[in-house]
């Protein structure tokens, strides 16, 4: 089977270009992990690769819903996890371009069919923790789900309460639910984080936005503004500023500046999210995507050699 390489990093840093360079070096297909590229018709402002680029390598994870629909990480994982598995079974590599940390986290951790919150049970457990101490709950967890108690620290009250809540509601330990996950947890994916100096990143972001605005993004957004968009699509970064401008809000120069500023802030939040993810190996990205691809391949040489044999 093929493997999985995740390219995680902020918007505009060049994940798509590096993914395409990798796909020219090894048999691979590209999977977008992006909460806005899932919407059909939201193309330019989400950085979707062009038709020409998609013809150079198979792309997945995009155009999964209409912008009038609500879409979330669970729905995304259910659509995309089987695609990744199929790519691997074809003996190819799945290269994930990950800008949305939440969508990636759900893909990696999988989907568990354990029941949702039970406010009454949860309130009772929290009350007991408050009156008797959290260690009492952890001791109870050790009785009903020893594996979970070993995995969860006694001070992690939120997770202890959740594990006990599931047990009390269903009579089955959380560990058993995890073993029967709808989408399994993935611990063998190679995680590569992209970073570069802030000045370089911000310059890339602003040049990218200005290129989109000059190439037809305004017209795309204007057409979308006439539709009954769902709340998620309507709040998409860049689109919401343009929608406000169309409705008589900020003037053009201020709208452009707002898109620049808000995108820079979003990129900062993306970097912060990925820095808290486990198993990420960071690479300083320059201007040459092929050079970055070669560095990734050099660092992954043992895994690729194992796959080839």
What sections of 152-300 are H helices per DSSP? Answer: 157-170, 174-179, 198-215, 217-225, 231-234, 239-246, 252-275, 289-299
The pLDDT assigned to 159 comes to 92
Q: Digits of tens for pLDDT over the chain (309 positions)?
A: 889 999 999 999 999 999 999 999 999 999 999 999 999 999 999 999 999 999 999 999 999 999 999 999 999 999 999 999 999 999 999 999 999 999 999 999 888 878 878 899 999 999 999 999 999 999 999 999 999 999 999 999 999 999 999 999 999 999 888 777 778 888 889 999 999 989 999 999 999 999 999 999 999 999 999 999 999 999 999 999 999 999 999 999 999 999 999 999 999 999 999 999 989 999 999 889 999 999 999 988 766 665 554
- Which pLDDT does position 306 carry in this prediction? 58
Other CB atoms closer than 10 Å to residue 209's CB: what's the count? 20
Q: Are 286 and 203 in contact (CB under 8 A)?
A: no
Residue 191 structure tokens:
């995680």
pLDDT of residue 303: 64
Check residue 114 and give its pLDDT.
80
Answer yes or no: are the C-beta atoms of 165 and 253 closer than 8 Å: no
Q: Where do we find the tokens 């959290």?
A: 134
pTM score, whole prediction:
0.82
* Distance separating alpha carbons of residues 35 and 37, to the nearest angstrom: 6
Q: What share of the chain is helix, strand, coil (3-state, %, to 5)?
A: 60, 10, 30
* The predicted structure's pLDDT at residue 113: 77
Residues whose CB is less than 8 angstroms from the CB of residue 177 and which lie 6 or more positions away in sequence, other chains included? 112, 113, 114, 166, 170
Distances (CA, A) of 111 to 52, 122, 171, 181: 34, 21, 20, 6
Structural domains in the chain, CATH included, are 4-110+185-308 (3.40.50.300), 119-179 (1.10.20.140)
Cα separations in angstroms, 77 against 72, 113, 115? 9, 13, 18
Closest by Cα among 241, 258, 257 to 249: 241
């Amino acid at each position: 089977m093929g493997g999985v390489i995740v390219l995680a990093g902020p918007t505009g840093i060049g994940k798509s270009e590096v993914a395409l360079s990798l796909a020219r070096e090894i048999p691979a297909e590209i999977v977008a992990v992006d909460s806005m590229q899932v919407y059909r018709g939201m193309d330019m402002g989400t950085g979707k690769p062009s038709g020409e680029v998609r013809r150079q390598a198979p792309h997945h994870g995009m155009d999964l819903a209409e912008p009038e629909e609500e879409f979330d990480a669970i729905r995304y994982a259910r659509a995309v996890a089987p695609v990744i598995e199929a790519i691997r079974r074809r003996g190819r590599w799945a290269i994930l371009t990950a800008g949305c940390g939440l969508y990636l986290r759900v893909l990696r951790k999988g989907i568990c069919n354990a029941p949702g919150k039970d406010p009454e049970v949860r309130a009772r457990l929290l009350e007991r923790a408050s009156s008797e101490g959290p260690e009492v709950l952890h001791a109870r967890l050790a009785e009903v789900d020893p594996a979970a108690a070993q995995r969860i620290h006694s001070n992690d009250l939120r997770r202890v309460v959740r594990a006990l809540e599931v047990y009390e509601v269903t009579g089955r330990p959380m560990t058993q639910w995890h073993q029967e996950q709808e989408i399994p947890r993935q611990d063998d994916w190679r995680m590569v984080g992209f970073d570069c100096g802030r000045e370089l990143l911000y310059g890339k972001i602003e040049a990218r936005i200005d290129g989109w605005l000059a190439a037809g993004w305004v017209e795309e957004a204007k057409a979308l503004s006439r539709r009954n968009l769902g709340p998620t699509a309507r709040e998409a970064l860049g689109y919401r500023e343009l929608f406000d401008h169309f409705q008589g809000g900020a003037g053009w120069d201020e709208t452009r500046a707002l898109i620049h500023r808000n995108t820079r802030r979003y990129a900062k939040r993306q970097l912060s999210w990925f820095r808290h993810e486990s198993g990420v190996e960071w690479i300083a990205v320059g201007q040459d995507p092929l050079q970055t691809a070669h560095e990734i391949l050099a660092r992954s040489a043992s895994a690729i050699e194992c796959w080839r044999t």
